[in-house]
């Protein structure tokens, strides 16, 4: 069943930011847990290893809504060291996919519309917008001060390429962001290596050498604060192996996946999302679960082979409690849901019922 989404795709990002969240996230009801939290998350106890990844929780009101509904690990949407605009509306559309969105199907392109239906898959195109640090530091600090027992908020961030800037300046921008998060008391951080045009090979996570340099620079800045790195789906097995070998020894957690990219058009064959560079867009939801599960399995195998201890966070296509179990059974230490949670604000409660929490 699809409920009213807490992010309304029919209105602009700015309107959502100002008026949201919507649906059950705004009803004021707070889920409660009995007893003591039992699950470990980087040394912090949470009631459930289930949450919402970077993306949907666009400000403190959305994060609070997630915490209130029992999502015990909530990720504040990716921030930057300076204000950064959002892509034009629309930013979210339903995509028509039968079964799995394999790479072969993605290469052929998809049709998008406003008919959201189960099994739910969407395309989202925001461009990783960010408010100015003066806003997000105060907003996030306020949420951190009110987190209840058994819950935690992750601060997500990424660097920004400046036109004509050097590699050193680019890496330093990550350090600046991490420093800003640490200043306000963020206990766990996630750095985004999975979005386009931030590395020499399209995605930063596909540039193993630079990913390693940036991860090392961030860890040098934040010390013992746990660092998660968010990655995309790797078609190239050797590249992924190299990434895990190099970066897995530096970071404390790896989160996978983000989306699978595809050309997205409307029923008439026109580009569905307006603006330059938006014909190709990330797809998430039910149809990419296969890829998320595959990546978690690969991560689990490589972690064991290399003798590493990083936490594995499984993301992609989690829309039901059984999806949560699939991820846990295949090797995920933590599971997160974005699209599924957006249209089902009661998903955390359903997972806890399954776990008898």
8 inside domain = no
Residue 91's nearest CA partner among 59, 63, 60, 55 is 55
Residue 222's nearest CA partner among 190, 245, 255 is 190
Instruction: Judge whether 93 and 121 are in contact, CB under 8 Å.
Output: no
In the block, residue with structure tokens 């350090």: 175
Output the DSSP codes for 198-211: EETTEEGGG-HHHH
Q: Which of 177, 195, 205, 284 is catalytic?
A: 195
Per DSSP, the three-state class of 20 is coil
Residue 340's nearest CA partner among 153, 145, 157, 118 is 118
Instruction: Judge whether 232 and 205 are in contact, CB under 8 Å.
Output: yes
Per-residue pLDDT at 356:
85
4 inside domain = no
Per-residue pLDDT at 196:
58
Structural domain boundaries, residue 97: 13-355
42 inside domain = yes
3 inside domain = no
Q: Give, for all 357 residues of the chain, the pLDDT tens digit.
A: 899 999 999 999 999 999 999 999 999 999 999 999 999 999 999 999 999 999 999 999 999 999 999 999 999 999 999 999 999 999 999 999 999 999 999 999 999 999 999 999 999 999 999 999 999 999 999 999 999 999 999 999 999 988 889 999 999 999 999 999 999 999 999 999 997 544 334 799 999 999 999 999 999 999 999 999 999 999 999 999 999 999 999 999 999 999 999 999 999 999 999 999 899 999 999 999 999 999 999 999 999 999 999 999 999 999 999 999 999 999 999 999 999 999 999 999 999 999 988
Per-residue pLDDT at 199:
38
| Catalytic (active site) residue 195 | yes
Q: Going by DSSP bridges, is the β-strand pair 152-157/73-79 parallel, antiparallel, or unpaired?
A: parallel
Number of domains composing the chain: 1
6 inside domain = no
179 inside domain = yes
Q: What pLDDT digit, counting tens, does each position of 36-90 carry?
A: 999 999 999 999 999 999 999 999 999 999 999 999 999 999 999 999 999 999 9
317 inside domain = yes
5 inside domain = no
CATH number (domain holding residue 300): 3.20.20.70
Instruction: Judge whether 214 and 169 are in contact, CB under 8 Å.
Output: no
């Amino acid at each position: 069943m699809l409920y009213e989404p807490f992010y309304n795709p029919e209105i602009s990002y700015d309107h959502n930011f100002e008026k949201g969240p919507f649906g059950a996230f705004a009803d004021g009801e707070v889920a409660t847990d009995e007893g003591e939290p039992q699950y470990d998350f980087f040394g912090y106890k949470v009631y459930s290893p289930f949450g919402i990844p970077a993306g949907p929780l666009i400000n403190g009101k959305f994060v609070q809504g997630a915490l209130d509904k029992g999502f015990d690990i909530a990720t504040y949407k990716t921030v930057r060291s300076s204000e950064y605009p959002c892509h034009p509306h629309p930013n979210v559309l339903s995509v028509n996919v039968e079964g799995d969105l394999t790479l072969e199907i993605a290469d052929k392109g998809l049709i998008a519309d406003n008919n959201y239906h189960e099994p739910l898959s969407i395309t989202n195109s925001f461009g990783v917008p960010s408010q100015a640090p003066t806003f997000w530091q105060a907003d996030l600090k306020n949420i951190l001060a009110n987190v209840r027992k058994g819950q935690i908020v992750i601060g997500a961030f990424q660097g920004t390429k400046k036109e004509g800037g050097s590699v050193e300046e680019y890496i330093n921008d990550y350090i600046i962001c991490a420093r800003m998060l640490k200043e306000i008391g963020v206990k766990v951080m996630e750095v985004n290596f999975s979005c386009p045009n931030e590395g020499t090979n399209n995605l930063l996570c596909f540039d193993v050498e630079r990913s390693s340099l940036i991860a090392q620079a961030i860890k040098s800045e934040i010390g013992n604060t746990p660092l998660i790195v968010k990655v995309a789906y790797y078609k190239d097995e050797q590249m992924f192996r190299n990434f895990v070998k190099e970066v897995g020894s530096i970071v404390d957690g790896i989160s996978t996946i983000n989306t699978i990219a595809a050309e997205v058009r409307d029923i008439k064959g026109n580009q569905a999302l307006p603006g330059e560079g938006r014909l190709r867009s990330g797809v998430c939801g039910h149809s990419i679960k296969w890829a998320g599960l595959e990546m978690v399995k690969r991560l689990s195998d490589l972690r064991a082979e290399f003798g590493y201890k990083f936490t594995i966070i499984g993301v992609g296509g989690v829309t039901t409690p059984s999806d949560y179990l699939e991820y846990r059974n295949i090797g995920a230490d933590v599971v997160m849901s974005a699209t599924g949670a957006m249209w089902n604000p009661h998903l955390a409660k359903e997972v806890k019922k399954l776990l008898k929490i």
